[in-house]
Structure 1
Amino acid sequence: MINQFRNLNPINLLLLFAYTFFMRMAIFADPPAQLNFEFLEPYTKFFIQIPVQNTFSPIANAFFAAIIIYVQAILFNRVVNNHGLLNKPGFLPALLYVTAAGLFMPFLVLSPTLICNFLLIWIMDKLLKVGKSPNALMIMFDIGMIIALGTLIYFPFIVMLVMIWFTLLLYRSFNGREWIAGLVGFLTIFFFVWVFYYWNDSLSMFYKIWLPLGNKFPSVFKINYNDYLVLVPVLVMMVLAMIQLRENFFRSFISTRKAFQMLFIMFLVAIVSVYTKPDFRLYHFLLCVPPGSVLLAYYFSNAKKRWFYESLFLILVFAIQYFLFV
């Protein structure tokens, strides 16, 4: 399986499509009685009304989620290959993206974070261009606007603003205009939101949008560890990827080193941003899938012992299926 996807063979597009639905067999075999899909925050619904809450049946919901994951995997694969993050171009990033996006049952249905991942992949592409651009002013402005759009869909996406400044710190010498361009882009979108609230005499509601930023990071989590045993093979792969990165770190291009540092921070930011959402949902961690999939793909693109990496991948796939069905 891994060897097949290491190459840019067009047949892999068909195999990936089949694999996407294979990883979602559990929800098609036993769909829930009802699935509600709301992909806009309450403060966005105040001025945008999209009646989709009960539009889809559970099967249709899972089907469209699978199609979205497939499309995102292709876009994600293109970004990774275009920026040369792996040894050679192939379909490994797409394969690992689909796999990571099937870890838990809440990942298999439509959710705000699933929609936001389109924006996150777009942001990844733009951030990876920062080091290659003579002027990052417009890139930062665009990223700020994209983050604002994501915040209208899912509030924790706002924490991705941190990635603007971390990326500039990593790639470029200090330029004050570049450092504020992203924030200006973000505020441009929310200025129009403010105007709408002002016209409707609802400024008090606008100010409440930002209250979650003052939340304290939860010190206690109620966790059923049996639900997360599927993460054990993922953690093993992540550790192996980190070891592989460490071994190749100084032999890699400087741009590649910086790219992986940036993606690792993005992975951590996606995890930490959960504190801004008091009604925590497991689907939040879909935001970790794009940066995390790059690290997983890096391990499999560099692994040497075929019997080991193929076996490890099969263990992960069977573990996912087992815990989804059980």
Structure 2
Amino acid sequence: MTGIFKQKTSSNIIILLVYGLILKFNRFLHPAGPIQQPEDHFLYTWLIGFLKPLHMAPVLYVLLTFMLLYSQALLFNRICNDQKLLPRPNYLPAMAHLLTTSLFVEWNYFSAPLLANTFLIWIFYRMTTLPNIQKPAPAIFSIGVQIGIVTLIYRPAIVFVALILLALFIMRPFRLREWAINMLGITMPYYFLALVLYLGNQWDWNKIKPTFSIGLPAIPTSLYITISIILLVVPFMIGGYFVQANLNKMYIHVRKSWSLLLLYLIMAMLIIMADAGSNNRGFYLSWMLCSVPITAFHAAAYFYMNSSRLSVIIHWILFGFAIYLNYWLN
């Protein structure tokens, strides 16, 4: 399977769709509605409040979730190819995204982290293009607005503001004007939210401020969760080794893009320490924000491995466990 997705052919789009349906079809057989958590912010709460009176069947939420995951996979794959994160265009990042998001059942429900992930993939792309933009101010402002929207979807995502500032530091020469434009963009959605609440006579400071608690993540009590974490970490470490080994062969902007992905992962791991719900389902849902950067390193592992047999074995181990987790345990 890795050999098929290692090629860039248009038929892989259809194969990827079938691949994703095989992994996630049990969600359609046992559909569930959207997940709500205390950390959901105004926009997601408003969206759920808008959809609930429509009495949508749970299977429609499952379909929407699958289409979002499939779209994320294709979008991130296109970004990896456009930015030449791997030496040759391929569909490994898309395959890896659908596979890694199947290692936690919670990642296949409609939720605030799922929507936040969609915005963050696009934000990452905009950040990687900053060095080549002749007029960066509109792009920097747009990135700020988008990260502001993400924080209004999921409160703990406020830590990604630090990622934007670090991206400006890495991708652009320091200019105070650009940083000020970015901060203006980040706060812009909050201006409109405050205006809507004030005019609707619903003003409440707690509806605006992105509050959340910080603590150390709990030790997994389930064997299956432990295996899922191991299957995320091992290919990530292999991919990280190969990326580091090939760093000298990459263009400067590609190195910076990999550095951004690593910072992206660090920021997402900080969110793991933010309380993402009182139950296990909610807790591991917040881990979904780590999936995109981990996906890139998984794809690098499949691409760079000298032994095609080893990459195939690792892939089928992940695939087999994902099938077992999604079909037999749920």
TM-score by length of 2: 0.89
Q: Distance in 2 between matches of 1:193 and 1:322?
A: 44
Indicate the larger mover: 194-203 or 73-82. 194-203
Shift of 1:207: 4.5
Aligned to 2:16: 16
Shift of 1:244: 0.7
Aligned to 1:142: 142
Aligned to 2:250: 252
Shift of 1:96: 0.7
Helix, strand or coil at the partner of 1:52: helix
Shift of 1:53: 7.2
Aligned to 1:128: 128
Helix, strand or coil at the partner of 1:230: helix
Aligned to 2:295: 293
Find 1:302's aligned residue among 301, 304, 327: 304
Q: 1:106 to 1:55 in 2, by over 3 A?
A: farther
Helix, strand or coil at the partner of 2:50: coil
Unpaired runs of at least 5, structure 2? none
Aligned to 2:33: 35
What is the identity, as a one-letter code, of the residue corresponding to 2:113? T
Q: What CA deviation, in whole Å up to 9, does each residue of 1:152-180 have, x standing for no partner?
A: 22222222111111111212221001112
Do 1:156 and 1:276's aligned partners in 2 also have CA atoms closer than 8 Å?
yes
Aligned to 1:224: 221
Shift of 1:293: 0.9
Do 2:148 and 2:189's aligned partners in 1 also have CA atoms closer than 8 Å?
yes
Aligned to 1:318: 320
Unpaired runs of at least 5, structure 1? none
Find 1:242's aligned residue among 233, 240, 243: 240
Helix, strand or coil at the partner of 1:183: helix
What is the identity, as a one-letter code, of the residue corresponding to 1:110? F
What is the correspondence of 1:207-222 to structure 2 with a 5 Å cutoff? 207=206, 209-210=208-209, 212=211, 215=213, 217-219=214-216, 221=218
Do 2:276 and 2:286's aligned partners in 1 also have CA atoms closer than 8 Å?
no
Q: Distance in 2 between matches of 1:16 and 1:133?
A: 32
Shift of 1:264: 0.8
Q: Distance in 1 between matches of 2:183 and 2:189?
A: 10
Shift of 1:199: 2.7
Residue 154 (str. 1) matches residue 151 (str. 2): no
Q: 1:250 to 1:21 in 2, by over 3 A?
A: same
What is the identity, as a one-letter code, of the residue corresponding to 1:320? A
Aligned to 1:273: 271
Aligned to 2:231: 233
Q: Distance in 1 between matches of 2:175 and 2:123?
A: 20
Do 1:87 and 1:301's aligned partners in 2 also have CA atoms closer than 8 Å?
no
Do 1:8 and 1:91's aligned partners in 2 also have CA atoms closer than 8 Å?
yes
Q: 1:237 to 1:194 in 2, by over 3 A?
A: same
Residue 184 (str. 1) matches residue 184 (str. 2): yes
Residue 264 (str. 1) matches residue 266 (str. 2): no
Q: Distance in 2 between matches of 1:140 and 1:96?
A: 29
Q: 1:264 to 1:58 in 2, by over 3 A?
A: same
Q: Distance in 1 between matches of 2:41 and 2:161?
A: 21
Shift of 1:220: 5.5
Q: What CA deviation, in whole Å up to 9, does each residue of 1:77-111 have, x standing for no partner?
A: 11111111111111111111111121111111211
Aligned to 1:67: 67
Taking only aligned residues, the RMSD between alpha carbons, in angstroms, comes to 2.4
Q: What CA deviation, in whole Å up to 9, does each residue of 1:171-198 have, x standing for no partner?
A: 2221001112221001111111112222
TM-score by length of 1: 0.90
Do 2:238 and 2:301's aligned partners in 1 also have CA atoms closer than 8 Å?
yes
What is the identity, as a one-letter code, of the residue corresponding to 2:215? P
Provide the aligned length of Structure 1 versus Structure 2: 321
